[in-house]
Structure formats: C-alpha cells, structure tokens
Structure 1
C-alpha cells in the first residue's frame, strides 16, 4: 500500500506536466501572448505575419495589417486602394484578393491602377496583364468586351496589354487590373452590329470580384515551430527580428518545455492537492 501512493503521485505529476499551460492563470500570462491571439474574421484567421488593426504592432510583421469590417470581410489597404482578402493559402504564402471598388461597380469614379507595395507583396506567376479602358471613342476600331458606363461612356476590357504603354489612343483613361486565366471563362459576351463583342458592366464586375493572387514576402519560417511549442508569433520592432511570445515571456524561436517557472507552478499545485 505504501508503494502505491508514491507511484500514483508521480503519475499525476507526469500528467499535469503535459498540460502545464492550463494551470497558469490567464491574468499572469505574458501580455503580448494575450494580445496576439489570432483574430477570426468571416471564417478567416488573421495571424502572423498579419495582425488585426486593433492589435498592437508587435503582433504582426511591419506593414502587414488587416481590418475586419461590419460585414465580416477581411480587408487589406495598400497604395490608396482597398482589397478584400478572399482567401489565405498560408503554406504557399498567397492571398487571393479583389479590389473593393471594382467588386461593387466597374464604372469607376476615379481611375487608379492596381499597384502593389513591392516591399511587402508580389504577384504570383498565374495572372494576365489586363486593363480596363474608359471614355473611348465609340467609332473606334471594334474591341472585345466592350461595355458602357453612364458618365464615362464606352469602355472595354483587354486581357493582355503592354504595361509599359497601357493607354490606347482612342481612350482617355486606363486602369491596370490583373485577372486569373480561369476567370476569363466568365467573360460571356455578345457580338454587336459593328462586330464588337459587348459585355454588361454587371458581368464585368462579377469577374473582377473573383480576384487575383499575390504572395507576401515576409519570412514566416520560424512561426510554425513557435506555434507548435505553444507560443504565438510576433515581432520585435526595436531589434527588428522575430519573437515567439510564450506564456511567461518572449523567446527568439520557440517556447521552452515544461520546466522553469511552469514546472514550479505544477509542482506547487500538485503538492497542495495531494498533501
């Protein structure tokens, strides 16, 4: 009988040590660990290298800030434009995004090219150099995917353009917007009397709402190991380096195992419960 009690105690100590983090009161957790809890928006997780705009800067890599609007849409603001983040492919570091202005109406009030912050994002290889052309001469050479807007008149969408010289002579404005090749299947058009193919602005908006893919440049290779160790990924803006925020403090890469402060908490709680 005397041998059974010590063995039981050791077994309990082992079990409690495996779940050590549950014994640390939330109030005593390291503040950045609490602050950098992943933010859920519309079924998508906003976490490192991104941070929700309501979180402190150290929860994300510099420049990677996302918002969540009242409709539970994840939004990215960049270069004077706003994009809806349709989906995140974390293993490939890819975001599928769509311009919010073109997702509402292809008849724009201001003509701004789609431009990425090249220090933060790149285009993926699978997109077409496409552009919208506005305020075009109606008697110009027949074009594919022509549409009409109330204020700017005739316009058209071109799937492949020369980005170095995108403006076509008969039109006053052009807007570069990439498109995935698969989305061209949605460009159903009808042939007009002048042999031009026309498309409704609503159809054009639907196609552009499908979005395109961009990759984020920030290196997140250390983050997976940090999460597996029970930590939350963050960034030290002073030292300009990755941090793994754990329940007790910040570490360079991963949280330590069940030792140190946490082991002392387990032993104290277990001793109190069996004594």
Structure 2
C-alpha cells in the first residue's frame, strides 16, 4: 500500500494550519511595523493606545499596558489588577472589574478602588457601592446587604449611601467599588440573617466603566493608510509605523528622518491616584 500521498497531504494541511495561526513575518519590513501589530486576548482585539506588556514600549501610548490571562486582558494600575471585560473603541470606554474580587468578596487587603487619573477617568454610567468589613453588628436597613467572611466576621454591601455619619465603630474596614448602571443590580430585598455574598459577587464581577484619556485621533488615518499606530517617547508624539519607515501621521508621505523609535529607560508618567467617589451617581 502506498502511504506517500496521504502523508504528503496531511503534511501540507499541517503546514497550512501553522501559517494560519502563526503567520510568518515578511522579511525586509520595518521592525516596529511587525512588533506593534494588534493582538487578540479572549474576544477583545487590542491595539493602540494599548500594547501588550511584552511588546516594545513604543507600540503604545505611555501607561497603557495590558497583559492577557488567556480569557481577558489584564490592566495593572496603581498597584491594582483589573480584568478588562469589554472595550468600546468608538467612545474610548473600558468595562473593568477588580481581579481581587473576582473569586470572593472576602479580601485579604482592604485596598480602595483607584485609577491613575492621568490615564483614565470614571464615566457617568456608574453607581456608588461600598463594602464594609469586620463588623460585629449592624442594624438591618433596606439597602444594607449582609455577607460573611471566614476570617473577618461579617460585613455589608451598601448602595448609594453617604457613610460619613453612618460608619459605626463596630466595623473596621471600608472599600468603595463602582458598579455599572447598564447592568441590572438584581438584588432581592434585604433581609436579616440572609447571606448575600454570592449575589454581591455577581454584581461586582460585571464591572464598571472607565474611559481612557489618550488622544487617538491620528490612529484611524494611520491604519487606513496601511500603518500600525505607535508612539515616539523622545519626541513625545504619535508615530505611524509603516512597512518601510515611521511617519508622523500616515504612510507614503515624508518619513520621520531617523525612522527609529526610541524608548526611555523608565516610565515617563508618575501615577496620581484617587477614588472619584463624589463623581458617581445614585440614580436607578
């Protein structure tokens, strides 16, 4: 029996499949054009102003670095880790959720929700919510949802309440976490003695909205001309990486003289973080 033909056919199909999933880079292209190509994480396509943390820093605007856990892009910001659930490039909005709350609302460290306000801001489509931990007791009120943690007695999840005069000495820790108004809250009426931990976790895992501040207006024209968007850290200006060189805006015009992107040895932006609690609303 002749096995040569079937083996050759299988080999050809295997080679073709490799080309589909692992495209071979054409020789002679300008290296940043290859290195800064968009990447896909889960169902989200990532491109400028963001870059993968393993890409060169000139592939993204300063401060907009993402990792990928195989299912969701991961945003690291102000010593916190956020899962990127959705990205809407048309309005520059991310839906993100705190990674430390993804598996359980029982935190080991009670860190506030923080943003680098040089890079991102909250949208108006969020509501205030608060987690209060290590409580010995608290009177049951209509908007107070009780949960329990093995190492910290019990706590409460509270929607849209000013706690400046209500936080009792019987509770030791407080964490603010925005939630999106676009998602139904879906909490049943609060009731004494019921643990709402699973319900609260579902709400927090739906995330909240933030908007990125970086100006990406030049990127669309660059992409239409066949280029890949990037950033020159020395000139502090947008770069359009094309097959042959770097251009200021679009391909096929006058290239940037050096055509070699540069990178500083250390990040150029120092984060300034704060929780913009007063900027959120309580409308339902």
TM-score, length basis structure 2: 0.75
C-alpha distance after superposition, 1:32-89 (max 9, x if no partner): 00000101111211110000011000000000000012x3321001111111000100
Once the 2 structures are TM-superposed, how far is the Cα of residue 166 of structure 1 from its aligned partner?
8.7
| In structure 2, C-alpha distance between the alignment counterparts of 1:142 and 1:182, rounded to whole Å | 27
Once the 2 structures are TM-superposed, how far is the Cα of residue 242 of structure 1 from its aligned partner?
0.2
| In structure 1, C-alpha distance between the alignment counterparts of 2:165 and 2:183, rounded to whole Å | 21
Once the 2 structures are TM-superposed, how far is the Cα of residue 182 of structure 1 from its aligned partner?
4.2
| In structure 2, C-alpha distance between the alignment counterparts of 1:245 and 1:152, rounded to whole Å | 53
1:154 corresponds in structure 2 to 154
Aligned to 2:90, the other structure's residue is in SS state helix
Contact 1:232–1:246 (Cα < 8 Å) also in 2 = yes
Contact 1:146–1:155 (Cα < 8 Å) also in 2 = yes
1:206 corresponds in structure 2 to 202
2:109 corresponds in structure 1 to 110
Once the 2 structures are TM-superposed, how far is the Cα of residue 167 of structure 1 from its aligned partner?
7.6
C-alpha change, 1:146 and 1:183, in structure 2 (3 Å) is farther
- Give 5+ residue unaligned stretches, structure 1: 1-24, 258-275
1:88 corresponds in structure 2 to 87
C-alpha change, 1:167 and 1:80, in structure 2 (3 Å) is farther
| In structure 2, C-alpha distance between the alignment counterparts of 1:105 and 1:230, rounded to whole Å | 45
Once the 2 structures are TM-superposed, how far is the Cα of residue 141 of structure 1 from its aligned partner?
2.2
1:230 corresponds in structure 2 to 226
Contact 2:140–2:192 (Cα < 8 Å) also in 1 = no
More displaced 10-residue stretch of structure 1: 108-117 or 248-257: 248-257
Once the 2 structures are TM-superposed, how far is the Cα of residue 218 of structure 1 from its aligned partner?
0.2
1:46-65 mapped onto 2 (5 Å cutoff): 46-65=46-65
Aligned to 1:175, the other structure's residue is in SS state strand
| In structure 2, C-alpha distance between the alignment counterparts of 1:102 and 1:171, rounded to whole Å | 19
1:12-91 mapped onto 2 (5 Å cutoff): 26-69=26-69, 71-91=70-90
- Give 5+ residue unaligned stretches, structure 2: 1-24, 254-284
Contact 1:89–1:95 (Cα < 8 Å) also in 2 = yes
1:134 corresponds in structure 2 to 133
| In structure 1, C-alpha distance between the alignment counterparts of 2:103 and 2:82, rounded to whole Å | 12
C-alpha distance after superposition, 1:214-254 (max 9, x if no partner): 00000000000000000000000010000000111011000
Which structure is higher in helix share? 1
2:145 corresponds in structure 1 to 145
Q: Provide the aligned length of Structure 1 versus Structure 2.
A: 226
Once the 2 structures are TM-superposed, how far is the Cα of residue 189 of structure 1 from its aligned partner?
4.6
Contact 1:127–1:178 (Cα < 8 Å) also in 2 = yes
2:256 corresponds in structure 1 to none
TM-score, length basis structure 1: 0.78
| In structure 2, C-alpha distance between the alignment counterparts of 1:89 and 1:214, rounded to whole Å | 11
Aligned to 1:205, the other structure's residue is in SS state helix
C-alpha distance after superposition, 1:95-137 (max 9, x if no partner): 0000111111001111001010000000001111211000113
Contact 1:107–1:201 (Cα < 8 Å) also in 2 = no
Contact 1:147–1:201 (Cα < 8 Å) also in 2 = yes
